[in-house]
Amino acid sequence: MTPFFLDTQHGKRFCLYHPPKGLARPKGAVLYVHPFGEEMNMARRVAAQQARAFSVNGYAVLQIDLHGCGDSDGELRSATWEIWLEDLDAAARWVAENGDENLSVWGLRLGATLAVDFARRTTTALRDCLLWQPVLQGSTYLTQFLRLHAAGAMLHSRQGGQKTVPALRLALEQGETVEVGGYELSSVLAADIEHVNLQGLKEIRCPIHWIDLVDNPHPEMSPARKAAALACAGTGADLRLCAVHAPALWAVYGTTECTTLVEETLRTKRNSAA
Amino acid sequence: MQSIELIKRLLGEALGLGVRAEALTADTPLLGHLPELDSMTVVSIISLLEERLGIVISDEEITADAFRTVGSLAKLADTKMLA
């Protein structure tokens, strides 16, 4: 595993590269798109477990910290959806220049939503998309993120001082940057997130593997999410849906590994080969 | 209360309690007693409640009172369902 900094137009990006292992010809490359905010940290261990599993099984993996996230340059308050897409473009170019072919994109939560947008726009012919619990609607996601403020206030007994979600939204609309749980969300990024959805699925030409994480020994995608996924994909997209028995590892602390998810994802990737 | 079972399951999921969820009762204290309860998991619990029960919980209802025990959370869910 090699850490390095990738130069981009908006600064350096911290990256981790896992080379394809084994004696056979490399099977392909995977670009990981991490989730937003604290979810990135919570999911870190399982993402690393998955990256290692891909690597050991003959896939190159590139993990990139997006602008303002992790160890990359830039403040989160200056990040935008467009800059993040450019980061992914730069990452894809680096992978190609490194000689790794057959690129797939793999994202978690808002990272999956961003991955879909990237897949829709990129000129690189992608092998497939792997989406872990993609965020369907940015507006709902933003509400939940802003709620962290109210939740945090309750836990720290600051009942009077908390800002309600509508108040935070108003501040954002007025061009202010709001701080939630240590993360500074600018009005620009908030507006970007507010408008994202998965309608872009329709425009993707490669197979899309959508994996929902359900904490049930007999996991099934919720009917609401299934219907929404199918609606977003329309008739054009090659969308395959499945649910894996796994905890909400982006929201629950202490999830250091998730073998069911990692094995199922690896299996899906292998079977996806044309 | 039927919803105690649902709340137990939901808390089990959101907090990653595993088999410990079975031991929860209506009187089990939550706020200040479960280390797993932080802003992220509080929001997860609220989101799961909304999703599973088809209700909407407003900011004002995310209070220390609602999260005092398993029972108080179940009561909040019940109230919203009857609304």
ipTM for the whole complex: 0.76
Q: Does B57 touch chain A (CB under 8 A)?
A: no
Which among A253, A242, A271, A264 has a CA at the least distance from the CA of A41?
Answer: A253
Please report, as a single letter, which amino acid is at residue A162.
Q
* Global pTM value: 0.89
Residue, of B63 and A81, whose pLDDT is higher: A81
User: CA-to-CA distance for A22 and A147, rounded, in angstroms?
Assistant: 46
Cβ A39 vs Cβ A251: under 8 Å = yes
Give the per-residue pLDDT at B56. 85
Give the per-residue pLDDT at A150. 81
Which among A142, A152, A233, A237 has a CA at the least distance from the CA of A191?
Answer: A142
Q: Is A13 helix (H, G, I), strand (E, B) or coil?
A: strand
Q: Do B46 and A151 touch (CB under 8 A)?
A: yes
pLDDT in tens, chain A (274 residues): 999 999 999 999 999 999 999 988 999 999 999 999 999 999 999 999 999 999 999 999 999 999 999 999 999 999 999 999 999 999 999 999 999 999 999 999 999 999 999 999 999 999 999 999 999 999 989 988 999 888 887 887 765 556 778 889 999 999 999 998 889 999 999 999 999 999 999 999 999 999 999 988 999 998 889 999 999 999 989 999 999 999 889 987 778 899 999 999 999 999 986 4
pLDDT tens digits, residue range B9-53? Answer: 889 888 888 888 899 999 999 988 988 888 888 988 998 888 778
Q: Does B17 touch chain A (CB under 8 A)?
A: no
User: CA-to-CA distance for B63 and A159, rounded, in angstroms?
Assistant: 8
Whole-angstrom distance between the N-terminal and C-terminal Cα of chain B? 17
pLDDT tens digits, residue range A33-70? Answer: 999 999 999 999 999 999 999 999 999 999 999 999 99
Cβ A252 vs Cβ A213: under 8 Å = no
Chain A CA closest to residue B13 = A215
Q: Does A42 touch chain B (CB under 8 A)?
A: yes
Nearest Cβ partner for A155 among B16, B38, B51: B38
Q: Do B16 and A255 touch (CB under 8 A)?
A: yes
Beta bridge partners of residue A197, listed in sequence order: A137
Cβ-Cβ pairs closer than 8 A, A with B, add up to: 68
* Chain B contact set for A154 (CB, 8 A): 31, 42, 62-64, 67
Q: Does A182 touch chain B (CB under 8 A)?
A: no
Q: Does B40 touch chain A (CB under 8 A)?
A: yes
Give the per-residue pLDDT at A161. 53
Give how far A226 is from chain B: nearest CA, Å: 14
Which among A167, A81, A69 has a CA at the least distance from the CA of A120?
Answer: A81
